[in-house]
Amino acid sequence: MIKLAPQKTEAVLLKGPRKKEKVNFTLRDTIITPGGAVKYLGITIDARGSYGPHIINVAKKAENRAAGLMRIMPNIGCLSSGKREILCGVVHSTILYGAPIWCEALRIRRYRTMLEGVQRRMLLRVGSAYRTTSTVALQVITGVIPIDLMVEERRYLYEMGNGQELAIRKAARERTLNLWQRRWELNEEKGQWTKRLIPDLRPWVTCRHRRIDKSLFYISQELGDVKTSPSS
């Protein structure tokens, strides 16, 4: 027999086109007032059926983790490039939890910008780059897929059966690289110096020499549209 604990019970009224009056629920003599959003299995959904609040919450959580990791990841020295990418992956994992569920919310630019901002902070350290290096250039230099394309890849894998087969995972990554390449070619605003030197992403992203320690710092300075001193 299932028993509900009133102190752990939350409720939210999903709003439609018609305005609803305020409603309260009673559970074992405890009044439960619906809130503006509710969390279920780690995913937050609001009264409009939107996952915007989830992205806001997860961006804050990832930002806090990034801040903690950056204390042990100075811009120069200490950690190898491989270890830097692993730590960056911790932040990405925080963001990508349940991505196939809330991916549609990224159609709103505000939410994309939030996640891009968190990724950017980590990529500055992964690439040992200057603060003025554009986000699109950072993603290319470090070979790290843009966060919204990571979300899209998770959605694609979910629809294809969670990507249990190696062939599906390879096809999903190929699809992501194609989307990234198309975006890179259409970009005419930022990272143009980087684009002149790396017009084709695939050879660079899959190049093992790009990950050689100590070289990535100098590569970042050459490719990243440098204007000021490196971030601390």
pLDDT digits (tens, 9 = 90+) for 83-100: 888 889 999 999 999 999
Max Cα-Cα span within the chain = 69
**Rounded distance between C-alpha atoms, residue 103 and residue 99, angstroms:** 5
Its pTM stands at 0.81
**Cβ pair 112, 106 in contact under 8 A:** yes
**Cβ pair 220, 141 in contact under 8 A:** yes
pLDDT digits (tens, 9 = 90+) for 15-63: 766 666 677 777 777 777 777 788 888 898 888 888 999 999 999 999 9
**Rounded distance between C-alpha atoms, residue 126 and residue 73, angstroms:** 9
| DSSP state letters, 199-231 | --HHHHHT-GGGG-TTHHHHHHHHHS---SPBP
pLDDT digits (tens, 9 = 90+) for 171-211: 999 999 999 999 999 998 888 888 988 999 999 888 876 66
**Cβ pair 194, 200 in contact under 8 A:** no
Amino acid in the structure at residue 151: V
Q: Residue for token digits 């990841």?
A: 73
**Rounded distance between C-alpha atoms, residue 43 and residue 55, angstroms:** 9
